[in-house]
Every structure is written in C-alpha cells, then in structure tokens.
Chain A
C-alpha cells in the first residue's frame, strides 16, 4: 500500500505505522497549507470494544524542511493522553455520544500540539479533544457534526484535527500483491486472465489522521507568502514520522508498563510507496529508523527500481523499451529525492537541492487547481502530486506510469516510452472513496454498524 504495513517491524506496531502523508495548498483557504499524516492502517470500523485510537506512548511528528538541507527546520509534535471515565464497564460508550464532551463516552483521547524550531518549543494547543470512532447510529448519531466539534483553532493561526477518518488512499491491493496482475491489463499479464475493473481494497476501512492547517507565512523561512513559483523559497519539504521511547519495562502481575529514554524514530513517510515499493525487504526497517536527510544511501534503489525490471517480465512484450532502459533513473530521483528542477516542466519547479531525501515537495506559490486532475503534474495539473500530494491524487497510477518509463523523457528526450507506460493503472480513481471539500478533507468514516465486510 502507500506505506501501510510496508516494513516487517512497523507492520507489528500499527499505532505508530505512518500510512500516508499529504501536503497541499488548502483549496478553500489558499493562504494556508494543509498537512495530513495518517496512522493505523486498515481499521475495520466494527473493531470494538476497544476501538482504534492513537498511542499514548507514541510521539507523532510532522517535519518541514524550508531551506533545502534535507533536515527539519520546523517540527510539529503530537502527544496523546487517554482518559477513562468508568473503568468498571467494558463498554466504549454507555449511551449515545451526541457531543465530544458527552458523559456517555467512556474512553476519550486528548492531545497536545507543540511546534519546534531549533531549541524553541511552543505549545500551540493542549488537552485538545479527539472525536470518538464512528460506532453506529445508536452510539454516534450525527457523526459528521460530532467530528466537526473536534476541529480546533489553536495558536498562531493553526487549525488541527486528530481522529478517525475514512481511508483516502485507493489501491487494488489484491491485484498488486498477486504478482502485479493489474485487473484492467491482466489479459496481458504472464498469468493471462480476462481484463476486469479494479477493486478498491481499502474500501470502507478507516485510518487515524492528524490534519494540520498552517498559514504559509508560518512555513517560509522569511515569513512571507510565496508568490513566485520559480523561487526556491516557495518550496517546502514535508514528511511525517512516529517515534517511541527507547525502553519499555513491563510490570509483573499488574498489566502496567513503564517507558523511558530518548525518542527513537520507528516510522516515517514522505512520498507514497517509497519504502513500500522502492526499498527492498532487508533495508525497510532501517529506512524507517533513519532521518530523511540520510536517504543518499537508498539512491541506488531509486535509480534502478526493482519494479521497472519486473514489469517487462510480468507483461511479456508489453514493455520492450523499458526492458532496454538500464540507465540510472534520473527522473525518479527528481520526483522522489530532490524535487524537479526548473527547466523541465514549463513554469514549475519543486527542487530542494542535491541533498537526497524522501519528502513531499510542495511549491506553495502554485495556487489550487480550479479543475483538479487526479494524475497531478503528469495530468497537466501542477497543483497535484508530485507537487505535494492532495488527498484524492491517484498516486498509484502516477508512480506506476513513472516507473514504467513515462517520465524518463523529461531527462532524456531520446527515450520513447512504451505505449503501455501512459496507460497502465490499477483501474481505480478518486470515486473509489469519498472526501470532504473542507478541512480535514478526508471523508467521514463508515460506522461499524454500517460496514458489511462480506458484501460484494
């Protein structure tokens, strides 16, 4: 998936598993940028009685690099605390939850937001309430209104939400992991089956999202709103992460745990699918533990992605030009590790220098699109991926096509991509799920009651 269960260690630690990161100029508030970091992959909405929540023992982080050194100049930290009203019941709620302060809600979660710049730490908000999970019509009636109560205005013009959301990332996992037999093209696959529409494997699943809307002036190094897309000050690098304390001691016979020590990064994510598809199994856990600024050591995997070698094998005769492409993939390096320099796409750049780092690179001077294209930049829409990432961007198709060679002519005009490179897809689009037009943009989660896991 984008980065759901993408590495052996983090697949066993879902509350710290950073599944997706988004960064885009807010379409309804273009003087701001919205950054969303998702965790807890594949939440089945009916998963009670202990419904999903953030980890009190995890520090969630959003990092921003605004001077092209690959390191964070600004970090937002999110730390959660769970409060139980009544420990003498097994119930998550003892009646309808009609507000986030409802006494019927038994297990509530609160959090603080701290902005870190160098040694300066500023608490922007504390004891901010999360919404409950969407249980069902008897427990969480009017869920949208309930969740809206958990949108908080905090310090320095920031807006924040942390809680359950409908999964916005759509992908045909069943096909991708079945030796890449993408259903719309599986008649051409080595296993040769009849072509079929894609199936969204994340349908109705939820995630836990941290959404933060930040004034642009809080993100630029000079405190100005960027207006020139060709200025390097217009570009920020964004990635998210999760850290845990170094040590955990389990109490004997009391169910208690004690944690201490410095924070150790256990998960991170900038570009979708980076650790999932680019980094090989033996390096995935290490990649999650390293800062983005040390990604030069993974350059070889970007320059020679394994999937580019597999496509011609899995689809015999379909990718002959890709099969012959043995040069280092400078196009993928630009998209994933450095940003796209000026002069490649007219009127656009999101270059952050030669320091290799997996970051979403957002040119904040590009205004939101009036007619957004899910294929983003390769679809002619410079406001979309890989200029940051919007919630609805079809990143699976974009990255499949890029790896298949569709973007290589940007750095080598003598290369002719295979015809299939601009057609390949897993057969899904933004209508595979639902979104909101306003903050926090990801859709309302489906309730446990309304989820039908065996439905066709």
Chain B
C-alpha cells in the first residue's frame, strides 16, 4: 500500500461525490418542482440503491469497459439516493408560510427557489451529501474488481496472498477515511444548521 493508492481511492471518492451532487441536486429539485416526474425519479434512485454494488459495476463495465469511468459511474448511481431524497425532502419541508411570503413579495418561482427555498433546505441536503460520501468510501473498495484500483486492490491482494498486515493496514486507512469524512462533515453540518436555520 502506497500513498499513491490512498490518494487514488480518495480521488475516486471525491470525483464521484462531486458528480453525484451535480446530478443529484438538480434531480431532487426536479422531483420537488414537477409533480409528474417526482414518483419516477424517487423510485428509480431507490431501485438503483437496491442493486448489489458488484452487480451494478459489472453491468456498467459491459458498456464502459474496465477502468475508472465504470467505477465513478457506478459510485454516482449508487450515491444518488441520499442526495436526491434529501434535496426533495429538504425543499418539501420549507414551511408553507415562508413560501407564501416569498410569493407575496413578488418573487418569481425560480428566484424563490434559489433565494429562499434552497438556502433553507441546504443543511438537510448537506446531510444527504455526507451520507453519500461515507458510503462511497466503502463502495469504492469494489473498484478493484472492475479495474479501478484504489485500496480495494490492496485488500484483495492481501486476501489472496494471505497477508494479514496488508489487509489490516488498508482497512485501517479506509476506516479512518470514512470516520474522518463523517466527523468533519458532521461539524460542517452543525455549523450550516445554525447559519441557515429558518428561525
């Protein structure tokens, strides 16, 4: 295990989380704004989450071949649920009184979304991103099976050559990574909640 492999794992996770946010938040907003597609979006992301990670990666590999693209696509699809769901629920839970006031002030629908509803929902959306990030650290381990590298390959090799040290050290790094993300993001979350609280 080298620093390069840890960084590789970290970069897979970060790239897919950023892309997940770019795809997931707009999807959540769509589910909130347009009743017609709501059910479809929420059901599809839920089904995606249900599919076993390795099965999903295997199927994606058929289309994109072995490598990083497959891994990142798989991670995005797998992490969508918390982000989409929390965006939708967060927006949904903005109190009707506030929305009414925004409309009464003459805001357009879009202006109201960007300046009123999104800021209030943001802490909740961030919680979704936090869950997605921590899950992605674990799921990225599967990257090794579809040629994506990362810490999974160290673990896999360790199991094959029966090297306990290799398995344990890379597991420790993974745990530190997951718990580290979780802790840091929990702090940010609390700060956001104070900062953007509607009260």
Q: Do A and B bind each other?
A: no
Interface, chain B (partner A; CB < 8 A): none
